[in-house]
Structures are given as structure tokens and as C-alpha cells.
Structure 1
Amino acid sequence: MRMLTRLFGTVLVFGLVVVLGWPAPAAAHGGADTDDVRLAQTIGSVELTVVIRYARQVPGPLYVDVIAHQPVRDLAVGLAVGPGTGQRASTGTVHLVQARAGTYPSTLRVTQTGAHELELRAGAERSILPFRVLRPRVAPWVLAGHVAFGVAALLLVGALFTAAASRRLPATALGGGAVVALVVAFTVAVMSAQLPPVPPDGAAAAVRAAGTVPAGRPYVEPVVGTDPAVPRAGEEFTLRLDLFDGATGRPVDDLVPHHAALGHLVVTSQDGGFFRHAHPLRTAAGRLAVGLRVDRPGRYLAAVEVERLDSGAQLLTGEFTVAGEARAGTAVPEAGVVVTTSPQRPVVGRPTLVEVDTGHADLQSWLGMAGHLIVRNQRGDFLGHVHESGSMAMAMAMSGTGQAPDDTVGGYGPRLRFTFSFPAPGRYLAWTQYVRNFEIVTVPFVVDVVPGPGAA
């Protein structure tokens, strides 16, 4: 009996090691398999964040939250989801109410895993958002380890019962079998950490076949255009961005979410008096588009950040011209907001700390960050975009290990800090953006940058 007691202690220790040391599920590229999908969209002149919740059961419900930011107007947004182009198995509608920002929930249904499209419609505007419905799969070696651990437990119970019946030889055999089964389980647990994760059911075929991503793809070449060809100040028009593969010339239709959007579009007038940060709609393969209305004639600069699958983030630029007469004045900084730089006169090539004191400690996350800083030189041939330091660090720490901060909860501020290095001396136009009470606040300011020591 003493031998069985010692055997039981050994099995217990091994069991604790297996349970506590079992490797956690690995995160997939771009986040864990159980991440929600967040995509910003500018549709019907309203800035939305569409949150596609992780489908925990397939077939089953698909929960979609539409978060509307001020200004909100009465608008019916149709939702439809399906497993492929033109296939829409489930539909719904959310009705935005004027001046009521916040979350508008909807429930759709999915019946299978794999590639899906969520279609949004608002009036004549239509957007198609690609995403994947995934169902985690248990690796065979993990299943084998759990089976071995279960067998060890059954054998141990049998050994205890046979020992109680004074049948020493069977008890010893069963106990030895329990130890062997547990050694197998422990070995599998240790080796599992060295093996590649099993892609979930519904993952992309390339990832499923190799367990890794391809080596890279050509960058994107853009063509920027407007409908009509020459917009007029004060009148609505559509800005189009046609994206082509730099090697084949074919439309690029493999964009992946980059900071919660398929594309971040920044439009500024030459004088910097007009600024808009929007999120264009995917209206067709290789085409992004957004409805705009500007307040002054002249040259406009358009820059869009996108990320192609396995190709990294890229900044695409273009320009267009607006006719007509000016209809508004220069943007005025938000009252009560104080912007400071350290050093007070930034130096070329050296990190500059930009601190924005908003006066509020209830700022909400937007596009995964507490704040955004966009910088443009006066000529318009340079544009930079960085994120608030604290929230950026938090997002990186949580990457693949948990959900990003909820956009509906306010907990940032009152100070937002950004670090930026200016590439050349001169005057820069800058805008910082943050969200409070579901309203996107834009604060414009100017930074004068001086040459570094010894510059010619």
C-alpha cells in the first residue's frame, strides 16, 4: 500500500505539471483566432466603427455592432452577410437616429466557416467588408495528450481498487500503466510548444497548407479620381481610389485590416484649412471610394494608408482639384485644448514629444488608439501618422493575447502623448484627433522645425 501511495503522489505531481504547463493556444497573424473584427467606415456622411463579433457557434448567430460617431443623422444602414460574392444568407437593418451616437446592435446568422462578406448599404452607397468565420480546431497531439491523461486517471483508480482488494500484482501493473500514460501525456505537452499551431477551421488555404504566410507580395499602385471629374466646393462628390498590383497590373483585392480599417484616408487642402480623416468603402475588387464635401476651391492632397496581405503597410498619395468659391473659414483649434512640444522648437531628425492636454479623463479608444497625430509639410509632399504612446504600447502588449480596448468605454486622458521625428526644417501643419462622448475631436496646430546643429 505504501508503494501505491508513493505512486499516487508521483502521478499527482505529473498531472499538475501537465495541467499547469500545457501550452496556451497560439495567436494567428493579426491577432488571436477569437478576436472580434473592427473596421471603420465612412458611409452616408457618418463615421462608423463596424464590430463583427467572434462567432462562437457555427451554424449560429453573428453579432454585429455598429458604433456611430457624432455628427449622426437619421440613416438606415442595411446589413447582409454571406459566404461569398453575391451570396447573402442573412440580412438586417440598423436605424441611426439623429444626434444619438453610440452602439446600434444587430444579429445576423452564419451557417459555415471560411471566407465571408458583410455588406453595408446606406442610400446609394454600398460597402463590402471581407472577413473570415473561424472555428478553432484541436491539434491531434493535444487530443492525444488529453486521452493519455484520461487513461492514466482510469488506470490509477483501477490500481487503488485492486490494491484495496489485496491484489498486489494487478495493482502494480495498473499503477505502472498509469505512470506510462502520464509520461506520454507529459511528453506531448512539452513537445506541443515546439509544434506549429493548427489553423482553425475556415482559415485561408495558404495558411492551412503550410502553417505560415507567403513570403510577400508586390506593393500597391494607386489611381486617384473623382466623380464628377472636377468637383465644386460645397457640393458632394465621390473620391475613388483604384488599387493595382505593381507587378501584374491587376486589381488588388487582398487588403487586410490596418488599425481597424481597410484604408485610412487623409484629405487636406493645399493651405491646410480643410482636413478630413475618413475610411473609404470597398465598393468593388480593387476599389475604395468615399463621399466627400469640401469647403474651398483649389488643389487637394489625398493620402491613404493600406496594408496588403503579407506586404506590410503602405502610404499611397494622389491629388485632385476643386472648382468654385470658398464657403468657410480656417479651422479653429478646440477650445480648452493645449498643445506643447518638447523641445519647444523641434530639431530635424530628433524625436519630438507632442503633448496634448485635452482637459478630460474620459476619452474613448478610436481605431484601437486613444489618439492620432497627423503631420503634413506645407508643400504637401510629406505626410506622417503616429499614434498616442500609451495606448499604442497597450495595443502591442495585447496583440494576440486579448481584445483591444472597447471603443465605447472612456478611460484615457487628460493628456495624450505622441513622439514624432520631423524629416526636414520648415513649417508643418498638424492635426491631433481623439474621441469623447462618441464625437471625433480634431485639433489643428502648426509646428516650426529648425535645422540640426552643423546643418548647411
Structure 2
Amino acid sequence: MFKPLITILFALALFGAWAEPAWAHGQSGEADVRFAQTIAGMEITVVVRASVQVPAPLQVDVVAHTPGRGGRIDLVIRPAVGGRSSSGMVRVEAGRPGMHRVVLSVDRVGPHELEVRAGGERSVLPFAVLVPQPPPWEVVVHAAFACTAVALVGALVSAGLSRRPAAAGFAGGAVVATVVAFTAGVLSPWFAPAVPEGAPPVSREVMPGRPNAQPVIEVLPGKPGPGSEFRLRVELFDGSTGRRVDDLVTHHAALAHVVVTSQDGSYFRHVHPIRTAPGTYEVRLRAQETGRHRVYAEFERADAGGQLVTGEFTVGGPEQPADGVPAVAGAVSGGVPVTEPTRPVAERPVRVTLDTGVAGVQPWLGMAGHLVVRSQDGGYLGHVHEARSMATGSQRVPDESVAVYAPGLEFTFSFPRPGRYLIWIQYARNYEIVTVAHTLEVGGTP
């Protein structure tokens, strides 16, 4: 009688050790929310840490990648409907990248707004406070384990009282409950993930998707002078309704990514504009060179795919020649990119590697590194991420404070046509964004 019970107990212990990785299934509510922002001359990432219960304190980290002159950053979190707001502040020191922490509070789940103020600028970022719920398979497993425990106790008591039929019945129930637990664990990848508390309801109807947003890209003033500050504004409209598009989702830790380059590539900025109004995103920049500049804005609309829109503006003065070598003012030297093959060919994958020369690389925008590629004439822009950090398969982005990635960065890219290309590789070390500029001559396919 006791041999089957010992076997069942051993099987339960083995299953408990084997089933541990399945805790990750359906836990989308455990993800942190990240917003990269270029505000008041600083490049920062605001990280809203995941909540495990509400009401509760809410930890918010402000990572200053490019602190510039530094200054005070005010943060306010408020629910979209009702509830109480919570505010706090951090102070960033000039020229000192790093992470700053503030603890706010939330009293309800669901849609919220995060307001960020610094240097006279204000950004309002929509997000949702979610609390993870146990997935269905986990509920089934726990219930089956509870039934198994009760049945085992009943079998042991019945056996001690010499009530063999009852003991056999309890033992059979323990076996059935154990089989149910095993089956639920094995089938866990096929269970629908649990919907976090606070998530908006999902329609069972097939969503047709939303159309691409139509952009209006302009600078204020309309033609900035050399060395002067200007505002770059991107306004998004729905082509079918004419209304402003205000349903962007975070895409690689930002609502919008904007790349600005001069025609010769010597001016390069990868920035993340602040949301100043529904459908309106702005960033302050300073012109350095005269001539034409290219603007590339990348974003993702809810229920639609990613989108890349382009624009241009001119800095007053004579046009600069278009055969310059890309450079980044103030960039930290981080080695020279190496390509394999050494002579890249169009329409074939090229392996680009960079030795950063540091012990480890911190994540920035969710990846170990970013490769931005632009054709010489500016008509083409490509953007890929470091290959090994993309292949981790982890749903949880590593913390920005940990140099978790290898010092050697690796990218794979296919150039569409022969010609000269300007490339920029960006990564984070000691919280600071390092930009390495390079040029490549790409040959034609034999």
C-alpha cells in the first residue's frame, strides 16, 4: 500500500522541480514600462517598474544617459479617470550619467498618465498600471496539488485505521489529481495567457487594423540659423478621418524614434521626442551645419504595424558638399566596425562587428546595440539591433544598471543597392550613449 504512495510523492517532487520555468507563461503584467525621452537637452529613459498589487508604492527610475546641463525632473502619475495623483522629483547632475530613483504610489489599476517636466518642457505619456494574474494552467495545477494532498492524507489515515477500501479510494483520487497536474503542466504552453488586472477588454471580433498615420514634419522657426536652437515637430493624422493619431504604443522603449542627419552625414542625432499634445511630438535641437537635413521618424500604431516617415528641413546658409565622412560631435571613441566579408555586396547579408573595449554593455532601448544605416543620398534608412541580444528570447528587458551584454557587438544587415553608406553604431556604457560613425562602400552583386 505504501509503495504507490512513495511513488506518487517522488513524482510530485520531480514535477515541482521540472515545472518551475513555466511560471513565465502569460505574465505580461510583470513587464516594466519604459519611455525614452529627449527633454531639456537630456536623453533619459523613464522606467515604471511593474506592480504586483494595487494600491501600493510604485517605483520609477530615471536613467540619465546624456545629462547635459542636468537639472530637476518632476514626475506626476495620475489615473485617467478618478483616483489620486502622486508626484515626486529627481535631480540630475550636469555631466554625470546614472540612475535616479523615486517612489510614487498608485491606488487603482488601468489607464494612467505619466507627466514628465524638465527645463520648461512637459511630456504626457499614457500607460496602464497592470497587476499580473495567475495563468489558467497554474490554477489547475495548484488545485490538483491541493486535491492530491488531501487524498494522500485520507489514504494514510484510512490505512492506519485498517480501512482498506477507503484507503484505496483515496489513493486512486491522489493518482487522478496527479495526472491532472501533470497534464496541465505539459499543456501549459497551449493555454491562453492570463489577462492582467487593469488591461483593457479585448474584442473577440477580428480587428481590421488601423491605416498608416499621415505625418506633418516641420521645424520652428522654419529655417533655423547655424548654431541656433530650433524645435522639430512631428504631427500625426489619420488619413481616413483627419483626426490626430494618439494611439501610439511603446516601440523599443519609446513612442517615437527620430533620426536627424545632415546631407553629408556629419550631423547625426537619434532622439525621442516628447508628447506635447495628442498626436504631437516635439524635440529641441541645435543646428550645427548649414544646408539640407533629413528627418526619419519611426513609430508603431496600435493594431497596425511599424511605420517609417520622412521629412527634411534646411539650415540657413550655403549647401554643404555631400561627400563628407560621418562624424558625431563629442562622441566617445569605441573602436572601428569590422565587416564580414570585408567588401560588402548588395542584397547579401553582411556581418558587422564592433569591439567596444569595455567589460560589458548595458541595455539601451531594450537592446545591447543599435545599427543605423543611411545611403549617401539620404533616400534610404535602415535600423537593426544587436543580434545576440535579440536572440535571448527573454520577455523581460534587463535592468539598465547592469552591464549584462558581451563587450563585442554583432549585427547582420543586407544593403539594398551598391553605393556608399553611412553607418552609426550606438550602445551604452556606464549609462552613457556611445556613438561610433563609419562609412562603407558596398559593391554590386557579381
Name the TM-score, length of structure 2 as normaliser: 0.89
Question: Structure 1 stretches of 5 or more lacking a match?
Answer: none
1:378 pairs with one of 376, 384, 389: 376
Question: Is the partner of 2:390 in helix, strand or coil?
Answer: helix
Report the RMSD for the aligned CA atoms in angstroms. Answer: 2.9
Aligned to 2:436: 443
- Taking the aligned partners of 2:61 and 2:53, their CA distance within structure 1 comes to 18
Instruction: Summarize the Cα distance change of 1:133–1:154 in structure 2 as closer, same or farther, 3 Å threshold.
Output: same
2:364 pairs with one of 348, 366, 370: 366
Whether 1:158 and 2:154 are equivalent positions in the alignment is: yes
The answer to whether the 8 A contact 2:133-2:196 is kept is yes
Whether 1:263 and 2:256 are equivalent positions in the alignment is: yes
Alignment of 1:371-410 (within 5 A): 371-394=369-392, 397-398=393-394, 400=395, 403-410=396-403
Question: Is the partner of 1:370 in helix, strand or coil?
Answer: coil
Identity of aligned residues (%): 51
Aligned to 1:345: 343
Whether 1:118 and 2:114 are equivalent positions in the alignment is: yes
1:138 pairs with one of 134, 139, 150: 134
Question: Is the partner of 1:221 in helix, strand or coil?
Answer: strand
Question: Is the partner of 1:24 in helix, strand or coil?
Answer: helix
Question: Is the partner of 1:253 in helix, strand or coil?
Answer: coil
- Taking the aligned partners of 2:136 and 2:343, their CA distance within structure 1 comes to 61
Which amino acid is 2:299 matched to? V
Q: How far has the Cα of 1:137 moved from its partner?
A: 2.2
Q: How far has the Cα of 1:151 moved from its partner?
A: 2.8
The answer to whether the 8 A contact 1:94-1:106 is kept is yes
Moved more, 333-342 or 346-355: 333-342
- Taking the aligned partners of 1:188 and 1:418, their CA distance within structure 2 comes to 40
Question: Is the partner of 2:194 in helix, strand or coil?
Answer: coil
The answer to whether the 8 A contact 2:22-2:188 is kept is no
The answer to whether the 8 A contact 1:14-1:186 is kept is no
Question: Is the partner of 2:156 in helix, strand or coil?
Answer: helix
Q: How far has the Cα of 1:204 moved from its partner?
A: 2.1
Instruction: Summarize the Cα distance change of 1:74–1:145 in structure 2 as closer, same or farther, 3 Å threshold.
Output: closer
Q: How far has the Cα of 1:296 moved from its partner?
A: 1.8
The answer to whether the 8 A contact 1:361-1:412 is kept is no
Aligned to 2:5: 8
Q: How far has the Cα of 1:202 moved from its partner?
A: 1.0
The answer to whether the 8 A contact 2:25-2:189 is kept is no
Q: How far has the Cα of 1:302 moved from its partner?
A: 0.5
1:298 pairs with one of 273, 291, 297: 291
The answer to whether the 8 A contact 1:370-1:388 is kept is yes
- Taking the aligned partners of 2:207 and 2:118, their CA distance within structure 1 comes to 36
Question: Is the partner of 1:360 in helix, strand or coil?
Answer: coil
Q: How far has the Cα of 1:268 moved from its partner?
A: 0.7
Alignment of 1:52-63 (within 5 A): 52-63=48-59
1:47 pairs with one of 27, 31, 43: 43
The answer to whether the 8 A contact 2:369-2:427 is kept is yes
The answer to whether the 8 A contact 2:291-2:318 is kept is no
Aligned to 2:200: 204
Aligned length: 439
- Taking the aligned partners of 1:268 and 1:87, their CA distance within structure 2 comes to 44
The answer to whether the 8 A contact 1:17-1:186 is kept is no
- Taking the aligned partners of 1:244 and 1:262, their CA distance within structure 2 comes to 15
Q: Cα deviation per residue 1:174-207 (whole Å; 9 max; x = unaligned)?
A: 434444444555555555553322211111212x
The answer to whether the 8 A contact 2:398-2:404 is kept is no
Aligned to 1:238: 231
Which amino acid is 1:132 matched to? A
Which amino acid is 1:108 matched to? L
- Taking the aligned partners of 2:358 and 2:101, their CA distance within structure 1 comes to 28
Question: Is the partner of 2:54 in helix, strand or coil?
Answer: coil
Aligned to 1:282: 275
Instruction: Summarize the Cα distance change of 1:199–1:325 in structure 2 as closer, same or farther, 3 Å threshold.
Output: same
Instruction: Summarize the Cα distance change of 1:49–1:422 in structure 2 as closer, same or farther, 3 Å threshold.
Output: same
Instruction: Summarize the Cα distance change of 1:99–1:192 in structure 2 as closer, same or farther, 3 Å threshold.
Output: closer
Q: Cα deviation per residue 1:229-285 (whole Å; 9 max; x = unaligned)?
A: 222222222111111223333222221121111111100112222111101112222
Moved more, 82-91 or 157-166: 82-91
Moved more, 354-363 or 441-450: 354-363
Instruction: Summarize the Cα distance change of 1:67–1:200 in structure 2 as closer, same or farther, 3 Å threshold.
Output: same
Instruction: Summarize the Cα distance change of 1:94–1:88 in structure 2 as closer, same or farther, 3 Å threshold.
Output: farther
Name the TM-score, length of structure 1 as normaliser: 0.87
Which amino acid is 1:217 matched to? R
- Taking the aligned partners of 1:355 and 1:88, their CA distance within structure 2 comes to 49
Question: Structure 2 stretches of 5 or more lacking a match?
Answer: none
Moved more, 145-154 or 11-20: 11-20
Which amino acid is 1:93 matched to? M
Q: How far has the Cα of 1:9 moved from its partner?
A: 3.8
Q: Cα deviation per residue 1:198-218 (whole Å; 9 max; x = unaligned)?
A: 211111212xx54x9845322
Aligned to 2:72: 76
Moved more, 312-321 or 412-421: 412-421
- Taking the aligned partners of 2:233 and 2:49, their CA distance within structure 1 comes to 29
Question: Is the partner of 1:364 in helix, strand or coil?
Answer: coil
Question: Is the partner of 1:226 in helix, strand or coil?
Answer: strand
Instruction: Summarize the Cα distance change of 1:60–1:180 in structure 2 as closer, same or farther, 3 Å threshold.
Output: same
Aligned to 1:107: 103
